[in-house]
Structure 1
Amino acid sequence: MNIEDFKKIHPWPEQCGIHSLYRFMPVNSENTEFLEHLFIKKKLYHSLPADFNDPFEGKPHFVIGKSGNRAKMIRDHLKKVARKNGMRRKDADILISNSMKDPNFIKNSIANATKKTFGELRICCFTTDNVNLLFWSHYANSHKGICIEFDATIMPIAFAYKVEYSNEYPHATYPVPSDERAFKPALVKAKAWEYENEFRIMFVPNVMTLPHDGESLLLSDSTITNVYMGSEISYQDKEVLLNIIAESDFAPNIWQAALSPKSFELEFTQLN
């Protein structure tokens, strides 16, 4: 896949006419670490694929071509990596040539490289919908949590890629592309998840240029625009949440959700 096709399949929010993205989270007045991390420290935590509820995350397949050109390309790449790590050209040529006599060498090399790449990848997920009842149930502790609206026109939220939903299992290419295409396997999910209409921000700590602390990207004061509290949020959780927001540098609009008396929908009332 060339870079142009990648960008068509995985556009940024503004390219889709989207100006806001949403993220759901639970609230626990007895453990405010995550709330303070976001609102007080202004850090957007990115999880490892192993922490996701989908066990397929971060486990792409890889395909090894049988052509001589493919094998030569991999061999040349491995030699280049060896030289980059300080090995002399002659020694690298001998090492890789001897290693490739093992029929499993290429397969194991690619598997190890893929595991390393996706083991270090950090991901934060968003959706385009703040009223979806399944989101409120699954990700906001059965409507007891919150939904946070982020401005998708400014960094780092503007850097989110649209997820593709497919029946075809994602595969990794080797050598790994040096541009956004390296993220491709982490941007393909099963059709069963299509209702989530997901966007993702991803980074690898040692190659990311945006400000980060290794686990989280840093946010500006204008990033969070609205906070929606679930219809079942407790009084105690609500008070703790509002106090933390008041202490922060963010100034979002605060909304309270309520169950509609006429339909399976939510109604929101602004509190400030």
Structure 2
Amino acid sequence: MTITVTFDGNPTALYKFWAMPGEGTQEESYLRDLLVGHKLFFQAAHKLNDPFDCLPAIYTAFTPDRAKMLFERHIRSETPDVTDADCAAEVERRVTCFDFSLVGTPEFQLGARDAFKEHREVMAVYCLSARVDSVLMWSHYAKNHTGFAVRFDYSDTFIGEAQRVRYVHKRPLIDPGSRDERNMYVVLLSKARDWKYEQEWRITRIGRPGLHKFNPKALTGIVFGMAMPQLDRDRLRALCGEGGFEPKFYQAVDDARSFNVQIVEV
């Protein structure tokens, strides 16, 4: 059996590439969480490998009326039991003290971006790919083909939450004063076009980096890299057995006629 990766619309499967972790490392604990504990590790956005990831351009128009609205929202968020009179007085104090001549300056833009960076720390993503036949993906994320890829069934309810990443020329422009959560998802699902080869899909969570349980039946396959040592293959099989998994196992092989990777069942 050979896996076909072309699709129209949604994929039938998504893949997570791994470099085989060394024993006693944090990465090994994440692998045990996956194969034994049935948990996926969602990375905080600010720790991803792209410094532009989840960091949009910031809309910084800041009129006195808009300042009052944002200051009031911030005050009520920090002090929910504040009285209307006290809130109004504090808003007026902040507006009076604020130097509106700074608006539009590089320093103001930088300050707005720094404030948004705090949001990145609570944005969590689980990154997957629709491609398992990419030489670059195996080279970059599976340690030069010595690692492996995990195959997830996209029809699973949890895995099916994954959304396609958009590859764009310009960063999304975000209004930090907006309460529209869709803005956050635009940020989470937009990347530079240089990354288009990844064909990435993401499951996203706001406010919950860390481990999340998934249905073990969603993990349907393990793909061994072309250069994966036999000892590491045996370790993976043992971990699957320990976790009660019965996935299909596949082997990545070189395509004799192209630069793609073929995937065959073993």
Contact 1:83/1:92, CA 8 A, preserved across alignment: no
Task: Tell me the secondary structure at the aligned position of residue 85 of structure 2.
Answer: helix
Q: What's the counterpart of residue 209 of structure 1?
A: none
Contact 1:65/1:71, CA 8 A, preserved across alignment: no
Q: What's the counterpart of residue 35 of structure 1?
A: 31
TM-score for both structures, normalised by structure 2? 0.83
Where in structure 2 are the equivalents of 1:100-249 lying within 5 Å? 100-101=95-96, 102-103=98-99, 111=113, 113-205=115-207, 215-249=210-244
Q: What's the counterpart of residue 50 of structure 2?
A: 54
Which amino acid in the other structure matches residue 200 of structure 2?
E
With over 3 angstroms needed to count, the CA separation of the structure-2 counterparts of 1:265 and 1:59, relative to structure 1, is closer
Contact 1:49/1:122, CA 8 A, preserved across alignment: yes
Deviation string for 1:36-70 (max 9, x for gaps)? 11110111111122322211123223112255654
Q: Partners of 1:266 and 1:82 in 2: how far apart? A: 53
Q: What's the counterpart of residue 60 of structure 2?
A: 64
Q: What's the counterpart of residue 10 of structure 1?
A: none
Q: Partners of 2:92 and 2:197 in 1: how far apart? A: 48
Q: Partners of 1:267 and 1:193 in 2: how far apart? A: 22
Deviation string for 1:69-98 (max 9, x for gaps)? 5445434433442452x3222222222221
Q: Root-mean-square deviation (CA), in Å?
A: 2.7
Q: What's the counterpart of residue 9 of structure 1?
A: none
* 1:253 correspondence with 2:255: no
* Structure 1 gaps, min length 5: 1-13, 207-213
Q: Shift of residue 135 of structure 1?
A: 0.3
With over 3 angstroms needed to count, the CA separation of the structure-2 counterparts of 1:266 and 1:162, relative to structure 1, is closer
Contact 1:122/1:202, CA 8 A, preserved across alignment: yes
Contact 2:14/2:153, CA 8 A, preserved across alignment: yes
Contact 2:72/2:87, CA 8 A, preserved across alignment: no
Q: Partners of 1:228 and 1:255 in 2: how far apart? A: 4
Q: Partners of 2:31 and 2:230 in 1: how far apart? A: 16
Task: Tell me the secondary structure at the aligned position of residue 246 of structure 1.
Answer: helix
Q: Which moves more between the two structures, 129-138 or 243-252? A: 243-252
Q: Partners of 1:93 and 1:73 in 2: how far apart? A: 11
Contact 1:79/1:93, CA 8 A, preserved across alignment: no
Contact 2:68/2:92, CA 8 A, preserved across alignment: no
* 1:74 correspondence with 2:70: yes
Task: Tell me the secondary structure at the aligned position of residue 267 of structure 1.
Answer: strand
With over 3 angstroms needed to count, the CA separation of the structure-2 counterparts of 1:96 and 1:250, relative to structure 1, is farther
Q: Shift of residue 268 of structure 1?
A: 2.8
Of 82, 95, 98, 2:93 maps to 98
With over 3 angstroms needed to count, the CA separation of the structure-2 counterparts of 1:180 and 1:42, relative to structure 1, is farther
Q: Shift of residue 20 of structure 1?
A: 1.4
Aligned residue pairs: how many? 250
TM-score for both structures, normalised by structure 1? 0.81
With over 3 angstroms needed to count, the CA separation of the structure-2 counterparts of 1:114 and 1:243, relative to structure 1, is same
* Structure 2 gaps, min length 5: 1-6
* 1:45 correspondence with 2:41: yes
Q: Shift of residue 172 of structure 1?
A: 2.6
Q: Shift of residue 15 of structure 1?
A: 10
Contact 1:151/1:157, CA 8 A, preserved across alignment: yes
Which amino acid in the other structure matches residue 263 of structure 1?
S
With over 3 angstroms needed to count, the CA separation of the structure-2 counterparts of 1:244 and 1:135, relative to structure 1, is same
Q: Partners of 1:78 and 1:230 in 2: how far apart? A: 51
Contact 1:29/1:236, CA 8 A, preserved across alignment: no
Of 19, 26, 32, 1:26 maps to 19
